[in-house]
Structure 1
Amino acid sequence: MTNLPLHIVHTEASTGWGGQEIRILSEATGLRDRGHYVQLLCPGDAPIFEAARDMGLTATALDIGKKRIPGLLAMRNWLKNHPTVDILNTHSSTDSWLSAVACKTLSRPPIIVRTRHISTPISHDFSTRWLYTKASRHIVTTGEKLRRTLIEENRFPDEKITSVPTGVDPQIYRPGDKAAARKMLNLPVDTRIIGIVATLRGWKGHQYLLDAVKELNRPDILLLIVGDGPQGSNIELAVENLGITHQVRLVGNQKEVTPWLQTMDLLALPSWANEGVPQSILQAMMCALPVISTPVGSIEEAVINGETGIIIPKKDADALAAAIADLLDHPEHARALGEAGVKRAHELFSRKNMLDHMEEIFSALAMG
């Protein structure tokens, strides 16, 4: 297919920061670099706003953080004043609703593509069905399991839904010298480091990971928590109450995650809800780390139990502790899982694959 330059606009109502926002920016900059004109509409106080501008993207601050009349009018006026938009790619519930209603009032609206990033159940009411099957021309999910859920549980037409897994750049996320990375980041060289890279939200499962470290009671373990978020103070309190302060380091958000991944012996992400295929799992796999996670969302499309990592039941600190001990006590097995993970990540979850598929979807829709 010959791809003519498209005018693509992403919308994001969320004022948080995590894998969803990272994917939007990765996709936007990637398609921009392929010659398309890509813009972002989001609240001015959202972290993605400044991050987009830092990356050279055209980002416009609109009051679309809530489902309110001012946000609807702001969206409508912006779209009316920019009639050349080919694709309007929405990402969260609020901006999807504002975009859909605004486009309904325009004589020549852009094509709406709704991307579903997480596994949160979707309502079966009439208005939600209209949003997904009428207002949106196409739905993209970040995993095949999410796609099957929309088809089988919500009864959305399968021909309107495509799974496009998030992709990460193997030039950025790659194996490295563990000892050198630890020295650079002032981490102990002779300790076994368990890592988690995630926004500090309840459903990411940090509490179960803390409980597992407490249960293991191994002095050779250090838990490295990379990320920030609304549960930060609660996690700090839990660390103190469990008496494992000396075994846990919270290092906050890191602009460059790769060096931190390169310090780890394994990555654990015991999420219990709201996942697609998490960015941190794919990043860890690219860095040849074995991964421990749960059967939530589309995680099992990346983490194949016994091949690229270990899948445990959600909300099960005992199973998590056992899986950690197994990998730490059997380094050859852990190494084999990591090597298989690199191969799977390169084959299925590269940034190029993601960009190729999204570009194909957008171009096909624009061509009619």
Structure 2
Amino acid sequence: MEIIKKNLKAADSIASTSYAMARQTSKLINCRAEDIYITPFGVDTKQFYKRNMNKGNEIVIGSIKKLTPKYGIKYGILAINYLVNNLFAENKKNTKIKYLIYGEGPERAELEQLVKDLNLQDIIEFKGRIPNNLVPQALNEFDIFLGTSVLDSESFGVAVVEAMACEVPVIVTDVDGFKEVVDNGKAGIMVPRKDYKAMAEQIYKLVKDSELRVKLGKLRENESLKSIIG
């Protein structure tokens, strides 16, 4: 940490990929966040774009993230459990959804056990590590993208931006990096971190309404998210 501080203080100028990271950096070396240049991640729209896919009847929900506690995949699993056993309780047998989790990490065994304990093996599937060149294809298989992080150390939601470029509607938690990506809820649905019930309720809205999914996937700055989701 001291080496990082020394190097940052010795720099003539500092650039950050997000305002969230700039704020954390300013605290680290006692400088103004406003003096740090912001150079956000870009998305290669020649790779990340909406593709025509032959989809079945299932609604596919997905996440792409390292399986560690700070990324909150557990709360995505709990949201699916609440969705299936509460919001879809009366029509459970006819609820055709899948939750695909891409990524590896030290929490995988614990998350797999949680899925077994909740008896969700037929709905939730761990897909493992995904090569970068296959991410656009995977995103286009999704009908809904979940960003479930629980800490403000999530400095920028690259996978969220990539999903948005593919016109996949996104539901994210209110961590700092995601706030920037979805413009504080103007370009995607935002729920409180760890609030799996709130996430489930928003998933429910999108699962039930295909037109709403399309509208959110194509959301533009001049449209009102509130007017679309009510």
Task: Give the TM-score normalised by the residue count of structure 1.
Answer: 0.53
Aligned residues: 210
User: What is aligned with 2:160?
Assistant: 281
Tell me which of 173, 176, 183 is aligned to 1:294: 173
CA contact (8 A) 1:193 1:263 kept: yes
1:198 aligns with 2:65: yes
Residue type at the aligned position of 2:174: P
Tell me which of 19, 41, 45 is aligned to 1:166: 41
User: What is aligned with 1:245?
Assistant: 121
Moved more, 231-240 or 157-166: 157-166
Tell me which of 213, 216, 226 is aligned to 1:334: 213
1:208 aligns with 2:75: yes
> Structure with the greater relative contact order (CA < 8 A, sep ≥ 6): 1 or 2?
2
Q: Distance in 2 between matches of 1:154 and 1:296?
A: 22
In percent, how many aligned pairs have the same letter? 27
Q: Distance in 1 between matches of 2:221 and 2:164?
A: 5
CA contact (8 A) 2:157 2:181 kept: no
Structure 2: where are the runs of 5+ without partners? 89-94, 223-230
The structure with more radius of gyration: 1
* Equivalences for residues 9-48 of structure 1 within 5 A: none
Q: Distance in 1 between matches of 2:148 and 2:129?
A: 19
User: What is aligned with 2:14?
Assistant: 139
Kindly state the Cα deviation for residue 201 of structure 1 after the two structures are TM-superposed: 1.1
Q: Distance in 2 between matches of 1:306 and 1:334?
A: 15
Aligned residue for 2:176, secondary structure, equals coil
Kindly state the Cα deviation for residue 342 of structure 1 after the two structures are TM-superposed: 10
Tell me which of 208, 224, 245 is aligned to 2:100: 224
Kindly state the Cα deviation for residue 290 of structure 1 after the two structures are TM-superposed: 0.8
CA contact (8 A) 1:137 1:160 kept: no
CA contact (8 A) 2:186 2:221 kept: no
Q: Distance in 2 between matches of 1:333 and 1:305?
A: 19
Q: Deviations over 1:235-281 (max 9, x none)?
A: 11111111100001111112111111111111001101121112210
CA 1:154–1:320 in structure 2 vs 1: closer, same or farther (change >3 Å)?
A: farther
CA 1:244–1:313 in structure 2 vs 1: closer, same or farther (change >3 Å)?
A: same
User: What is aligned with 1:259?
Assistant: 137
Q: Distance in 1 between matches of 2:125 and 2:32?
A: 47
CA contact (8 A) 1:277 1:302 kept: yes
CA contact (8 A) 2:174 2:192 kept: yes
Q: Distance in 2 between matches of 1:331 and 1:262?
A: 15
Residue type at the aligned position of 2:105: G
Q: Distance in 1 between matches of 2:214 and 2:105?
A: 31
CA 1:306–1:279 in structure 2 vs 1: closer, same or farther (change >3 Å)?
A: closer
Q: Distance in 2 between matches of 1:160 and 1:304?
A: 22
Aligned residue for 1:337, secondary structure, equals helix
CA contact (8 A) 2:16 2:22 kept: yes
CA contact (8 A) 1:192 1:220 kept: yes
CA 1:168–1:139 in structure 2 vs 1: closer, same or farther (change >3 Å)?
A: same
Q: Distance in 2 between matches of 1:137 and 1:309?
A: 37
Aligned residue for 1:321, secondary structure, equals helix
Structure 1: where are the runs of 5+ without partners? 1-92, 101-127, 183-188, 344-368
Kindly state the Cα deviation for residue 304 of structure 1 after the two structures are TM-superposed: 3.3
CA contact (8 A) 2:179 2:185 kept: no
Q: Deviations over 1:178-212 (max 9, x none)?
A: 32xx5xxxxxx110111001111111111111111
Q: Distance in 1 between matches of 2:99 and 2:23?
A: 35
Residue type at the aligned position of 1:197: I
